[in-house]
Amino acid sequence: MILAFGSATEGAAFNALLAAPGALALAAYAAAALLPQGDGSRLRASLLIAWLAHALAIAVDTSGAGAPTAGARFGFAPALSVTLWLVIGVYLVESRSLPLIGVRRALAMLGATAVVLALLFPGELRPHAGSRWAPLHWVMGIASYGLFGAAVLHAAMLSRADRQMRQLPVGAATSPAPLGLPLLRLERLTFRFVAAGFAVLTAALVLGWWFANPWRWDHKTVFSILGWAVFAALLAGRRAFGWRGPRALRWLYAGAGLLLLAYVGSRFVLEVVLHRPPAI
């Protein structure tokens, strides 16, 4: 009985240790969301602590730590968590040199939501990859999600700044943009992330086509290719016809939505709605 009690206690302590990074990330994200805007140093410290704890929580969740068999664990919630972690990382880097005002609270709340979803839906344990190239394909796919997520973040700031500029009083058109960043510079940053995400997504699709045997036309593949086509049209239209403003942003949001449906959406339906183990 003593041995059984000790074993149960050790198991509970181990599970609590595994959950500690997620709990720390949630607390730090909550602090970053609730602290007043003027407290810059504490805001940045809270968000940085949350980001680092979030990274550790992702490593613990996806490594399959505590599972009865060895293998990698992944699913729609970990994919969403990694994507938001990458977007917040971009924000932390850029905010050191650029005045990215007004997005900190939203990013902190999204980060906390991603951590909770990953804890509730950790995904399926995969003891073996289908190919030695599969991990690289997964990493590149998630990296493209992060880059397009950063593009969407900048596009949202661009739309907000444009709306606020239009609401300025007559004669104030020469004032700085409400977000503290020139609109043209913000637009260039947006499409640099689009171009980088498109390049990484292209490489991920080519790699997936190369090692897949046989190639499957499932929901993930179809939505991924549709998203790729939308981003290709956006970049071509911007280069050939100078697309910008609401038209370009609509194409960006459409492509990002298709990519979100490709992996996160299809995995959510299979894991949560249908309770069916999907193929990665």
The distance in angstroms from the start CA to the end CA of the chain is 43
Percent of the chain exceeding pLDDT 70 equals 76
Identify the weakest region by mean pLDDT among 32-36, 102-106, 209-213: 209-213
Identify the weakest region by mean pLDDT among 21-25, 176-180, 261-265, 272-276: 176-180
What pLDDT, on a 0 to 100 scale, did the predictor assign at position 69?
Answer: 63
Mean pLDDT in the chain?
Answer: 82
Q: What's the predicted TM-score (pTM) here?
A: 0.82
Domain spans in the chain, listed from the N-terminal domain onward: 18-128, 137-280
> Higher confidence at residue 94 or residue 56?
56
Residue range 140-177, pLDDT digits in tens: 899 999 999 999 999 998 888 777 777 765 555 444 44
> Higher confidence at residue 277 or residue 26?
26
Tell me the mean pLDDT in the region 265-269.
82
Tell me the mean pLDDT in the region 211-228.
84
Q: Is 18 left (phi over 0), alpha (psi -120 to 50) or beta?
A: alpha
Tell me the mean pLDDT in the region 202-229.
86
Greatest mean pLDDT among 217-226, 227-236, 268-277 lies in: 227-236
Burial tier of 189 (Cβ tally within 10 Å: 0-12, 13-18, 19+): buried
Identify the weakest region by mean pLDDT among 32-36, 105-109, 133-137, 250-254: 133-137
Q: What is the DSSP string of 72-121?
A: EEE-HHHHHHHHHHHHHHHHHHHTTTS---S-HHHHHHHHHHHHHHHHH-
What pLDDT, on a 0 to 100 scale, did the predictor assign at position 4?
Answer: 43
Look-up of token digits 């980060």: 111
CB-CB neighbours of 172 under 10 Å: 9
Identify the weakest region by mean pLDDT among 18-32, 57-71, 81-95, 207-221: 57-71
> Higher confidence at residue 38 or residue 258?
258
Residue range 65-77, pLDDT digits in tens: 655 665 567 788 8
What pLDDT, on a 0 to 100 scale, did the predictor assign at position 44?
Answer: 86
